[in-house]
Amino acid sequence: MYRLLAVLACCLALLTPATAHADHRDGIPPLTDDRGRVLTLRGWNVEDKTHRGDQALTAITEKHFRDLRAQGFNFARLLVFWDDLEPERGRYSEAYLRKIERVLRWAEKYGVHVLIDAHQDVFGPAFGHRGIPEWATRTDGLPFTPHPDDWFAEYFEPAVQRAFTHLYEDPDLRSAQARMWRVLAGRLGSHPAVLGYDLINEPMGEMREGEGLPAAARRIEREQLTAMYNRLADAVRSVDDDTWLFVEPTPIVGEGVPTGLGRIDDPKVVYAPHFYNTAMEAGADYDPSAGWIESYEAAVTAYPEEYRVPVVVGEWGPLNHALPNMPRFYRDALVSLNRYSSGWAGYVWCYGGGYCAVDDEGRFRANKEQTAAPYAPAVAGRVAADAYDSGSRTYRLEYRAARRSAATEISLPPSAAGWWIEVAGPAWTTTRTVPPQRAATVRVHARPGAQVTVLVNPGTPR
């Protein structure tokens, strides 16, 4: 994937030197819940791209959410498809909505927050993929040549690029997309598992003659995506005034290109870029000296710092995760992601090969076990320090407790040695130890306004 962008990656590497970055969390607001607690989301994408119509979502089962939670994760980005929801213009599938609700019931049962993602790959079924319905695909007769060994290259086919332009510019397609979101949000917005809506996955657009890809991406974001997100925000708010709205730049941000996206006029917006590298998606090993993670972090933090919105990375994780430098990649990536974001969803929670997080037996595949670490899903107060040391396997949380009563939650994944918990300050917990091979959620209560430190250690108390 992304081989068409390899030259771009090389050029950008020369233009964007590697730099070290301070902690961005003070400049980027956190995600919060309805009790004002600071949220951290850790989880995975959950998908069924292989089925359509009556068979939609059949590959997703209760086991997905049970296993996610058993490893300490609290977040799922659920892929849904407009072509399944509205297979014919104006006819919305009640059966598909019920299937989404069934998945949400499983998520609620296991305490997993869900982001509803309106997913598209290479626009939709008119080009052999999923997403925008065929009836909403307009190409003006421009050509399309499939690229079976490099599907991302299909985004640059003239027919696909023109289809995006029509989606963004044609009044009737704008209205249809807004109606689709009113149906989804009106049906799902009150469900307790639903945290937010990702308004469109990896949006692309049409390049102009003589226009370089970075310039095209910034123009598309500035002139088309900003307007689209504001339209869709208005549509959602007509039926749901509370759920978070997640907005994505084009995937070109993955090469260290700052977004041209403008302000989205809504009080509950989350910036949701993806975290993929051209070279690694084409099969290369991680090169720590290339400075890609540093360049990416600089690119994705500029927008949320300017517009004061939280960040949640909606997809990340390389295909070839067992290469020699991949242990280092996962360590470096997690440190970076956890520095500036309110969370992330790895790609993808499934059982088998390829991008799957776990094998057929449910065991983490090489290096993906690093994603399961202690963290604080909800902090009732202002966070001063929040860090996991993968070497010592210790987790430390420092915060000043809020003035109103609420519990801070700490999620601990299964560990061969178990865990023990220390709490300092006028605070307490009923959970002091967690036995081996058990996941647990530790709840810490504190006196309002107290300074609290929680230390999680591997093993048993010394």
CB neighbours of residue 384 within 10 Å: 12
Cα–Cα distance, 287 to 10 (Å, whole number): 13
* Beta carbons within 8 Å of 171's beta carbon, 6+ residues apart: none
Q: Is the pLDDT of residue 8 over 50?
A: no
pLDDT band at 26 (very low <50, low <70, confident <90, very high): low
Q: What's the mean pLDDT in 137-149?
A: 97
* Beta carbons within 8 Å of 324's beta carbon, 6+ residues apart: 285
Cα–Cα distance, 125 to 424 (Å, whole number): 56
Report the Cα 272 to chain-centroid distance in Å. 6
Specify the pLDDT at position 327: 98
Q: Is the pLDDT of residue 87 over 50?
A: yes
pLDDT band at 462 (very low <50, low <70, confident <90, very high): confident
* Beta carbons within 8 Å of 26's beta carbon, 6+ residues apart: none
Question: Strand, coil or helix: what is 29?
Answer: coil
Q: Is the pLDDT of residue 154 over 50?
A: yes
Cα–Cα distance, 177 to 164 (Å, whole number): 12
Q: How many residues does the chain have?
A: 462
DSSP output for 322-350: TSTTHHHHHHHHHHHHHHH-SEEEES---
Q: Is the pLDDT of residue 333 over 50?
A: yes
Cα–Cα distance, 122 to 139 (Å, whole number): 13
Cα–Cα distance, 461 to 349 (Å, whole number): 34
pLDDT in tens, 40-59: 999 999 999 999 999 999 99
Residue range 374-462 forms a domain whose CATH class is: mainly beta
pLDDT in tens, 365-376: 999 999 999 999
Helix (H) / strand (E) element for 78: namely: strand 75-80
Annotated domain spans of the chain: 3-372, 374-462
Are the beta carbons of 61 and 349 closer than 8 angstroms? no
* CB contact burial 417-445 (16+ within 10 A = b; e otherwise): ebbbbebebebebebeebeeeebbbbbbb
Cα–Cα distance, 207 to 124 (Å, whole number): 19
Kindly report the CATH number that applies to the domain delimited by 3-372.
3.20.20.80
Say whether pTM exceeds 0.85. Answer: yes
Q: Please name which of 26, 22, 11, 98 lies closest in space to residue 383, comparing C-alpha atoms.
A: 26
Report the Cα 325 to chain-centroid distance in Å. 24
